[in-house]
Structure 1
């Protein structure tokens, strides 16, 4: 990420991306194609936080 300050939605998205790339539960298993990875509660919470921030920013811009 650059030196600029990210918006709250941008920061939440970065946290979700960082978690998803580093979490063994979130990554698909290449030996088992077609199977969805198990649900990760932390990823779901990070997604919800991003979604709330994104919707808040969108409604503030309107």
Structure 2
């Protein structure tokens, strides 16, 4: 997988996490808010993992 595809994937995750947070802010149901924020957190973790992979690959080469 190319570096550009990793970067695009990370940006997509960040955009989707932001959308989930916006949805959480606009819903009155606390349970739904919690689930949306948990999903956003999982996407944040995915971005961190992609960043780690890219950093490790860059340092290795």
Check whether TM > 0.5: yes
Q: What is the number of residues matched between the two proteins?
A: 48
Find the partner of 2:19 among 18, 21, 31: 21
Unaligned runs of 5+ in 1: 29-37
CA RMSD of aligned residues (A): 2.8
Unaligned runs of 5+ in 2: 27-33
TM-score normalised per structure 2: 0.55
Task: Return the alpha-carbon distance in structure 2 between the equivalents of residues 58 and 42 of structure 1.
Answer: 25
Task: Return the alpha-carbon distance in structure 1 between the equivalents of residues 7 and 43 of structure 2.
Answer: 11
More helix by share: 2
